[in-house]
Structures are given as structure tokens and as C-alpha cells.
Structure 1
């Protein structure tokens, strides 16, 4: 139904809608990837000397740009035993900011040289399709066949859908995440013993999953009269929460052990933030970065520092209300709502918001299920158009105009 409405298939040609969901989702995904490739081609034609890619780069350069180069560098050279520093002795950008699963998997499949690049993009493409399929299976019992299909249309066409065909680890992480959420929703906790470490060493964010498991355990305890809570489930939730917490801190410990600098990972992450705020001493304190950034950006935009603080507070309250009481959000089920709340808290605690914030919000993609609940053709069609417009805006800004300050994907 959703696909027929979207592409206006005539009645005599709608038999394909009776095909398995994997095929229908595959069609949506392939069409969406073709549109995204067209956007990349357009960005390459519009790229100028002001972009880090220069005038009229080939599309492959865009797909392997920005952080994809770090992943390639890891695949070829590994991680530094000595942290690189600038003339003042401060740690500078280096490989320890990136987790090893994605680059080494691409090296395994494609080799260290030219073959690494198609392997890396291939992993993103395949993981993106499988992620769409798992997200559909996660949403369908909650919002129904029609809305779940539309959620995948939105997800495949989303403003950040370019991550499905660039050399970034996001698509692979989303696949692990959606599988993990499906396992929790269906009480298949044993699979998480493999998925949690995969998440932890693909990209940052597993600490948010540890918080999610804690909240999930509390929710199951409160609802134990409506849904029995076997002792085995309690053990799994507690042990997996502990494993997720340990895994979340494992990479910083490994970075410190290899480099001989205990806070090597933190110093590396802070090297990307250094210089944004004048006079910033580079120290890390949970939740401080978002507060500082709100004042900094609104002052930069000429809207006043205090305005930034007010907007941030209102935004946090609005998100909390929507996750707790929003009627459409409640339809996607407690697992997606608790995950979304956990991930928002995690971002507020650790991230300094700049243009990368759009990419960092992608793990909230299960909420597309809430956006798909309204059955209005105007709403759904308009949202697809908005998604594609946002996708072009993002690709154009981050690649055709991409620079090292305002336009960072």
C-alpha cells in the first residue's frame, strides 16, 4: 500500500506488492541509493576551490572523503603507539578516535590498497539494506505493515541517508543497533552477547546502550505482573548491562595501554573540539559541552548567549515530553522510546555540537516509525520530499562546499 501510494503504481501493476518484504524494501532502498548517487554527482559538479575536494572531483573522492580517509589509514597503518602532538605538545587528531571493526573488516574483504575502498562502500551499502530490513521487522508489530513500510521509505531517503554509501562506520553500527533492539523487544537476550561488543568496537555509543538496558530492566520490573520476569531474564539484563559498560570503556583503556598515555582516547577526542570556544582549556566535564556550545553558537549567530541556553533547555524539555507522552511516539513501543531517551542523554553528556550533530542523531532513526503513523498521503508524500531536500542540502554543504569549520559531516 505505502509503495503504491508513493510511486502511483497503476492497479494492474500492483501485484509486486505481494512480494516478500525483503524484495519490496530492496526496491525502495535501491531507488533511494540511486537518488543519493545523483545528489553526489551534482555536488561534484558544483564543488569549487573553496571545498576541500576542489573543483569537479570524481564522485569516488566524495564517497571516500572526510572520516573515510581515517578508516582507510587505520586499515593500512593501524593505530599509533606514540600520540602525535603539535609544537605546543597538545595531542592532535589521530586514529584512536575511530573504532577498528569497520576498517579491518573492509581490509579483510578488499585488501589494504585500492580494493579497500569498494569493500568499505560495499559494507555500508549491504549494512544499510539489512538495517532497513531489521528496522522494518522491529517496527511492524508496533505500528503495522503500512506504517512500517513508510518508515523505511523515510529512513532510506532521510537527510543523512548518504551514510549508506560512504566509507563511514555508521551504517554498520545501525545494523548492530537495530538487531540489538529487535533482540531486546523479542527477549532474545543471548544474541546481545555478540552484538554488544560489535557495537562497542564499531563506533562510540555503546554506553548509551548500557543505560538503555538499565532502563529496560527497570521497566520490565515495573511491568512484571503484566509480563512475567523470569530469573534468567534478570540475569541476562544485569550481565549484559555490565558488559556494555565495560565495553564502552574498553577502547579508551586499550588506547591508553598501547600509547602509554592513560587518557589517550579522551585527549584524541578533545583534539577535534579544541579551538571552537575561545579560551577553552580543553578539559572534559559531562554535559558541559552542550551548554557551552549553546551559548557559543547563538552568540556567533548574533542571537545572544542567553538565548542559546533558553533554546537548549526548551529543546531538552520538548524531547523528554515527546518520548514520554507523545501519542505517536508511544506507538513505536517502550524499547525504541527508552533507547532514544538513553541516546539523547549520552549525546548531551559527551558531545560538543557542531555540524556533525546531524550525523550523530542518526541512531535515533527508529523514531521514523512515529513519523509514519499518520496515514495522510499529503503528510507522507510531503515528508519524503522534505527528506530528499534535506539530503541534498546536507550533501551539497558537506561535500560541494565542505570545509574544516562550518561544513563537517
Structure 2
């Protein structure tokens, strides 16, 4: 009788345990933000006397707010030099419009953005818990949720950015692949694609996943239905991934509207580097950063190559990462390759690594209390450093979140 009562206790339910961890982590992040506002100097980007609302609506949240109320420009803005300037086409529509819908009862878009992000973050934690528990056990799963909820980028779980919503759709999609429940992906892929860039990486993931299934078909037979779903979903991810470029082209009348818009941000760092060339951004970035640090450009390229090899070895051979399952490893490899192909490395690189959140489970595998509390301490220190640089200060080019 006692055992039954204990089993049915509310805190014994995964959703409640995850909620308690998640809310405790949000309180810690809120404390960091309050400290950030209190110690902000006069030359801080957001000034002195900032509030929690200031930080919710800071940085890219301003673009999402603009989209919610003004939509997308039909004519691309142009700089004095004749280049396309930064504009709303770099941001996808689902998050700002959903936030506007949720904000209707409150009369303030920022409230809706905060609630959407907060709820999406809890959804991420809940899905991660299910993924980790299946592979690592209950205790490690809960610690994995702790590391995610209190990690260095945990501020993204309560500010006006689309990362948390995208990650929720992504994790749900990976979970569906793990469980071979492909039907939901026909909904999740478009939701991902119109929340933020990255769905093309999911298309690559599906291709690699399909090849992996073929290599082990004697262990797990590949049915005709599996083949049809994987091919159709890969095609859907590809179409959705490129559709925003088509939409931007149709609305503005410029075939290169989206790419020109994205390059407008890169131009702030390297000037007019011409058009988009896959994988060129990281070479440019290595050259940019290492020459600024007083080293030859070739050193930066060499470091980049070593880094790529090291990450590949980690995903292939590291035993704690391998325990997360092949789906998580294939997704991580696909997303990193996608970033390598399209991104220019700068201070936002840390934020763009957010979709690799499932790798947090690998840190939870060792059972040592010293290890786990050490990782948690590192997460909190990293979170404090990130918030201090990007929100307390945010006053120079390498402090952009």
C-alpha cells in the first residue's frame, strides 16, 4: 500500500521531476539576468537600469518583433555602397507570429515571446529526458536534463529567440526517428523549416540514417514503408529548406534576396567577399580571427582541419557519446557539416551550437558525484560568462549572442 502511494506521488512522474529541474534552472538564469542588469556599465549596449523585459526583447528579438508587426519587406534595403542591408528576411516567420498570437491576452508581444520560449524549453527538457532515459537510465537522464537546463546557453530558454522552439521540434523529430514513428515528421519538418534555418541539416541526417539502416538490414529489416518514408521525408526537408529562398525571391523580385540578406551580416566582418560559396565561410573566419590574433592565416586553417577531425573522432569513437544512440550521433554530424558549409564563425557560433543539445547526455553518463557537480558548476560558470558578455556588456563585435 505504501509502495503504491509512493509510486503515485506527483514528484515520481517524469514530467513533474523535469518541471522542477527546469523551473529551478530558470530561477538561476533569472538571477543571472538581474545581476547583469545591476552591474551593467554606462557603455553597455542595453544601458544601465535594464530590466528582465529589456533582455527578453534584446538582440534578434527586435527582428522578430518587427516581423510580427510589419511583416517582411517587399523591397530589399540597400546600403550606401549598394549592397543589400540587414533585413527581416534572415528570420523565419513561425516564432514571431506564434508569439504574437500567444501575446494577444496580454497586449505585449514580449510576453508572448517569453511564454513561447519558456514552454518550448520545457518541452525540450521533457523530450531529452525520454531520449536519455531509454539509453542511459533514469538517474543519468535527469542529470542530462540538469546540464541542458542550466547550461552555458540556458538564457536562450527565456529570451525572445527562436532557438528553443526550433529545438523542441527538432528533438521531437529525432525522437520520432528513434521510435520509427515517421508520420509525425511530415508535420515537424515544416515546423522546423519555418522556425529557423537548419532543416537542410535534418534532410542530410535522414539520408545518413537511411544508409545506416541499409547497412544493418540483417539485424533490423528495412521495409518498403521505411524506404518510402525516409525518401519522402528527405525530399520534404530539402524542399522546405530551400522554399524560404523562393518565397523571398517572389516577394522581393530578387532571385538572390535571401542569400544577399544573409551575406549582409557576414559583410560586417569581412567586407564585400562576393557571393556565397559553400564551406568558404570557415576559411574566411579562420583567416579573420587568427590574423587578428597576430598569427598567420594558415595556422587558422590548420586548426580548423584539426578541429573537424577531432569532432569526427568524438562522434565516431567516444564511448559516452556512442551510448546516446546512432540517431543523435548522425544528427550531430549532419548539423556540424551544415554549419561548416554555410556559416561564418564569429561570436554567434556558440548560440548556433544549441541544436547539439542531445550531446549533453554524454556528460551525464559518468556516475561520480564529483564529475556531475563539476559539470554543473562549469555549466553555471559558462552561463554567467555568456550572459555577462552578451547582455551585461554586449558593446563590441565579439559580444554578439
The TM-score, its normalising length taken from structure 2, stands at 0.96
Q: How does 1:49-64 map to 2 (within 5 A)?
A: 49-64=42-57
Q: Deviations over 1:226-255 (max 9, x none)?
A: 011110011000000000001000001100
Q: Match for residue 32 of structure 2?
A: 39
Out of 87, 94, 101, the residue aligned to residue 108 of structure 1 is 101
Q: Match for residue 253 of structure 1?
A: 246
Out of 351, 356, 359, the residue aligned to residue 367 of structure 1 is 359
Q: How does 1:51-90 map to 2 (within 5 A)?
A: 51-90=44-83
**Cα separation, partners in 2 of 1:144 and 1:138, compared to 1, 3 Å:** same
**Distance in 2 between residues matched to 1:49 and 1:207, nearest whole Å:** 42
Retained in 2: the 8 A contact 1:25–1:133?
A: yes
Aligned alpha-carbon RMSD (Å): 1.7
Q: Match for residue 124 of structure 2?
A: 131
The TM-score, its normalising length taken from structure 1, stands at 0.94
Q: Match for residue 214 of structure 1?
A: 207
Matched, 1:266 2:259: yes
Q: Match for residue 3 of structure 1?
A: none
* Consecutive aligned runs of 4 or more in structure 1 exceeding 4 Å deviation: 13-18
- Unaligned ranges ≥5, structure 2: 1-5
Q: Deviation of residue 302 (structure 1)?
A: 2.0
Retained in 2: the 8 A contact 1:46–1:56?
A: no
Matched, 1:335 2:327: yes
Count of equivalent residues: 396
Q: Deviation of residue 58 (structure 1)?
A: 1.7
**Distance in 1 between residues matched to 2:106 and 2:148, nearest whole Å:** 32
Q: Deviation of residue 112 (structure 1)?
A: 11
Secondary structure at 1:219 match in 2: helix
Q: Deviation of residue 19 (structure 1)?
A: 1.1
Q: Deviation of residue 265 (structure 1)?
A: 0.4
Q: Match for residue 284 of structure 1?
A: 276
Q: Deviations over 1:332-359 (max 9, x none)?
A: 0000000000000000000001110000
Q: Match for residue 3 of structure 2?
A: none
**Cα separation, partners in 2 of 1:227 and 1:272, compared to 1, 3 Å:** same
Matched, 1:349 2:341: yes
**Distance in 2 between residues matched to 1:377 and 1:194, nearest whole Å:** 41
Q: Deviation of residue 379 (structure 1)?
A: 0.7
Out of 130, 136, 145, the residue aligned to residue 143 of structure 1 is 136
- Unaligned ranges ≥5, structure 1: 1-12
**Distance in 2 between residues matched to 1:195 and 1:235, nearest whole Å:** 17
